[in-house]
Chains A and B, each alone.
Chain A
Amino acid sequence: MGTRGRERMKQSSLSIDTLREVVRTLPKNGLTPSREAAVAHLDEHGLPTLRDEDWKYTDLSPVVDISNRWLTAGGQQQLPKPPSETIAAITSSIDAAWLVISNGTIDEQSVGALKQKGVEVSRFSDAPSEFVMSRPLADLNAALLQDGLRVRVTESIEKPIGILIVDRAGDSVAVAQSCVEIEVGSGVSADFIEYHASEGDADHYANTVLSIAVGDRADVRHVRIQNRSVRHVQTGRTSITAGREARLRMASYDLGGGLIRNDVDIDISEPGADITFDGLYLAGDGQHIDNHTRVDHRVGPATSSQEYRGILKGNCRCVWNGKAIVHKGADGTDASQANHNLLLSDKAEIDTKPELEIYADEVKCSHGTTVGQLDETALFYLRARGLDKRHATQILTHAFAADIVLRAPVAGVKDAITAIVEARLAELIEADAAADLLS
């Protein structure tokens, strides 16, 4: 064992033996071989640690701790379901045909109810895909996954497909895995909404793996909303492959959650792709939100454009790392990355880093990051019009977020996002006002 292995041993690590036992109790089905392969992969590589460059700002100890406690307790799979009102409140706020996964269990009824022309939904257990495992945490997902969903869209659809991943932590610690593979056929236009929510007081760790294969000339819009309890932990990996002249508009909103780590990988291996992906994260006391994105431009011409914005208040930390790799020969690539942060208190911390690696000749690449406070001049202007300091702060903070909210590529979700953003910002700024009174 090399030094790396020994260092890992010093940090608390996932208990592989217990994991193996729990995996053995899962029902034997088509997923059994991939589970075993995933356990072997985990055994060899472990979970990422702070020593890994891509993970140096995000300590996964809570993931290890929650997972070990849950595994030791037997790794119960049939966890308490979120109340139907919780689910209904979400599904009725956004018009979509919803597939529901709660605490890692696919809701059969929601699968049965989804009857849209041109949409096929199937389970991994019916036709498992081969286990290809190179990404951290995707192995943990594959090891413990009860079942995955595969959604194929072969004809353009009007109504968005919603994927609701909703968890409830009842009396005891819980872990839930979900995995969804989306395939959008050539020339097909489709909208997707991915919604994460959780409730309950016990510790909870959710791990999601999502892939979207955007077909040639397909036109896909994807909105991800993460509104989990600030007590809960989530890691998620989204992998995108773009076909020839594929168009993708994606926006991601992290509005809740305690410890959140998102990895987005976009692979452009066919010419003509046009991709934008934007993000917004709001963090308050005790929250940690880490967004790592990576775009591989393997061929040109293609466009990728990214803008993430963050609003941080109180004792919290956010990370943005945007990597764009323009491979040799990917001439005609146009890649831009931006990350802007509003720090509403001096305890908030942001690590922001664009990374451009260019190996092609004819490319247009740009990046920009900013970290700042509210514009004092604008604040004074609003106060000079009679708005009190708190109201002025609220307006300017909203305006900062509004740009990204308005970019949500699916029109029907804007109201729902706005409502959550408004409520969350009011909480954050309210806390600010309370702190002002105390100081």
Chain B
Amino acid sequence: MLEITDLKSRIGDSEILRGLSLSVKAGEVHAIMGPNGSGKSTLAQVIAGHEDYEVTGGTVTYEGHDLLELEPEERAREGIFLGFQYPVEIPGVNNAYLLKAAVNAKRKHQGLGEVDAFEFLKLAREKMAVLGMDPKFLNRGVNEGFSGGEKKRNEILQMAMLEPSLAILDETDSGLDIDALKAVAAGVNALRSPERAIILVTHYQRLLDYVQPDYVHVLSQGRIVRSGDKSLALELEERGYEWVREAANA
């Protein structure tokens, strides 16, 4: 589904991704871990198409096509979803309006008609119930005045409504209390299916107790320095990131 080969990217003058390769197949859940500043968010933003990150080398193919050719909105409509580490507050733009516009943009791309307003609301309310979100959040400005946990739930709500083929969740677990963490995990697990792939970017292995990954990768200084199964996460937790950094430099 997603093939990243020797990806290099920089922002301004600093090179952040320095030859990163990763292969993700449908049905898989990958966890990407790594210390702060190692380039996890950069990778997520490059996949989503943020223009500030210049790709200076390597390739990214998504379902057999060159992903880097596409505009951010085209990537989204093709089924890529990025859950932002820092969801953006957009006062004055109604949350329900954005959700509906996003769903309709994708449906239009697929040659489907606009979603029925009644069905849409019903579905949104169902998904919100699973996430423990008050339906009132539909009528608030997008993330406007939301707490950290509410913002993250809102990202998961968007993901649940959009049913992406490839979801990348950038530290969606950080700063959540245990209830919010469980709600987010439930949202992610509900999405899991043989046709979809999920990349969980996380700093801690805590989320991985609730969402079992198939693979765990450790990112350090813009490269994947170690890959393994779930046990790698536990090992990291025990030995700390110093251990990988040493391994990387060795």
Residue of A nearest to B88 (CB): A381
A378 to B101, CA, bound (A): 15
Within 8 A of B (CB), among A339-389: 375, 377-378, 380-389
Asked if A384 and B48 sit within 8 Å, CB to CB, the answer is: yes
Asked if A381 and B90 sit within 8 Å, CB to CB, the answer is: yes
Asked if B72 and A398 sit within 8 Å, CB to CB, the answer is: no
B190 at the interface (CB under 8 A from A): no
Which chain B residues border A380 with CB–CB below 8 Å? 50-51, 72
Asked if A403 and B98 sit within 8 Å, CB to CB, the answer is: no
Nearest CB of chain A from residue B103's CB, rounded to whole Å: 8
Asked if A381 and B73 sit within 8 Å, CB to CB, the answer is: no
A382 touching B98 in the complex, CB below 8 Å, given contacts A399-B91, A399-B92, A402-B92 = yes
Which chain B residues border A231 with CB–CB below 8 Å? none
Residue of A nearest to B78 (CB): A386
B76 at the interface (CB under 8 A from A): yes
A395 at the interface (CB under 8 A from B): yes
Nearest CB of chain B from residue A380's CB, rounded to whole Å: 6
Asked if A396 and B93 sit within 8 Å, CB to CB, the answer is: yes
Which chain A residues border B203 with CB–CB below 8 Å? none
Residue of B nearest to A402 (CB): B92
Asked if A378 and B90 sit within 8 Å, CB to CB, the answer is: yes
Which chain A residues border B109 with CB–CB below 8 Å? 386
Within 8 A of B (CB), among A293-347: none
B71 at the interface (CB under 8 A from A): yes
Residue of A nearest to B76 (CB): A386
B148 at the interface (CB under 8 A from A): no
Asked if B93 and A388 sit within 8 Å, CB to CB, the answer is: no
CB < 8 Å neighbour of A387 from B50, B82, B101: B101
Nearest CB of chain B from residue A417's CB, rounded to whole Å: 15
Within 8 A of A (CB), among B41-80: 48-51, 71-73, 75-77
A124 at the interface (CB under 8 A from B): no
Which chain B residues border A378 with CB–CB below 8 Å? 88, 90
CB < 8 Å neighbour of B72 from A375, A383, A391: A383
A57 at the interface (CB under 8 A from B): no
B87 at the interface (CB under 8 A from A): yes
Asked if B105 and A386 sit within 8 Å, CB to CB, the answer is: yes
A386 touching B73 in the complex, CB below 8 Å, given contacts A380-B50, A391-B101 = yes
Which chain A residues border B105 with CB–CB below 8 Å? 385-388, 391
B102 at the interface (CB under 8 A from A): yes
Which chain B residues border A392 with CB–CB below 8 Å? 73
Asked if A400 and B92 sit within 8 Å, CB to CB, the answer is: yes
A381 to B142, CA, bound (A): 11
A375 to B84, CA, bound (A): 16
A385 touching B98 in the complex, CB below 8 Å, given contacts A380-B50, A380-B72 = yes
Which chain A residues border B8 with CB–CB below 8 Å? none
Nearest CB of chain A from residue B89's CB, rounded to whole Å: 8
Asked if B76 and A385 sit within 8 Å, CB to CB, the answer is: yes
Which chain B residues border A386 with CB–CB below 8 Å? 73, 76-77, 101-102, 105-106, 109, 162
Asked if A381 and B87 sit within 8 Å, CB to CB, the answer is: yes
Residue of B nearest to A385 (CB): B102
Which chain B residues border A396 with CB–CB below 8 Å? 90, 93
Nearest CB of chain B from residue A311's CB, rounded to whole Å: 13
Asked if A395 and B50 sit within 8 Å, CB to CB, the answer is: no
Which chain A residues border B220 with CB–CB below 8 Å? none
B165 at the interface (CB under 8 A from A): no
Asked if B82 and A384 sit within 8 Å, CB to CB, the answer is: yes
What would 18 A/B residue contacts be, using CB atoms closer than 8 Å? A381-B84, A382-B90, A383-B73, A384-B48, A384-B49, A384-B72, A384-B73, A384-B76, A385-B76, A385-B98, A386-B73, A386-B162, A387-B98, A388-B71, A388-B105, A391-B101, A392-B73, A396-B90
In the A-B complex, the 6 residue pairs with the closest CB atoms: A399-B92, A386-B105, A386-B76, A385-B102, A381-B88, A383-B72
